[in-house]
Amino acid sequence: MATFFTSDTHFGDHRTLNLYPRPFATVAEMDAELVRRWNATVGADDEVWHLGDFARTTRRAAEILAQLNGRKHLIVGNNDPEPGAGAGWESVAPYAEIERDGRFLVLCHYPFRSWNRQHRGGLNLHGHSHGRMKPLPRQFDVGVDVRDYRPVTLADLLGR
């Protein structure tokens, strides 16, 4: 089992195509390719932390979530609708602190200027900025716009 991180898929959101230079002609094409790349990367038993802005509507979120591999956790973003009971997420929270691969991780949709254990090796994984913000040391934007439109592992982020 591997752990993956991603953010800012914006399934079903036409505004994304206007705001960011994504290589898709339509929302349907974007959604289909994001699902394809997710499932080509993530296995059924893998864990995925989605750091916000998953989908435009609750209905679209439920439709897409059922198509995606992995055990999925949502860190809520500013464009996420209320997931609702039984939405398919293993957990839903605005923020999380977890340990994976011997590293302490602070997960939030938003990038921080400082975070717990920042100066003791803690990493901040975030989305929201779509690659438009210069990161601090030990800070990683996991949004699809800067990660080949697919989830990534901690090893991918650390260059291992």
Interatomic CA distance for residues 140 and 154, integer angstroms? 10
Q: Kindly report, residue by residue over 52-81, the tens digit of the pLDDT.
A: 999 999 999 999 999 999 999 999 999 988
**What residue ranges define each of the domains in the chain, with the CATH number in brackets?**
3-95+141-158 (3.60.21.10)
Report the pLDDT value the prediction gives residue 85, as an integer from 0 to 100: 55
Interatomic CA distance for residues 18 and 30, integer angstroms? 12
Q: Which helix (H) or strand (E) holds 124?
A: strand 123-126
Residue 87 has pLDDT above 80, yes or no: no
Q: How many CA atoms lie within 13 A of 36 on its CB side?
A: 7
Q: Kindly report, residue by residue over 108-130, the tens digit of the pLDDT.
A: 999 999 999 999 999 999 999 98
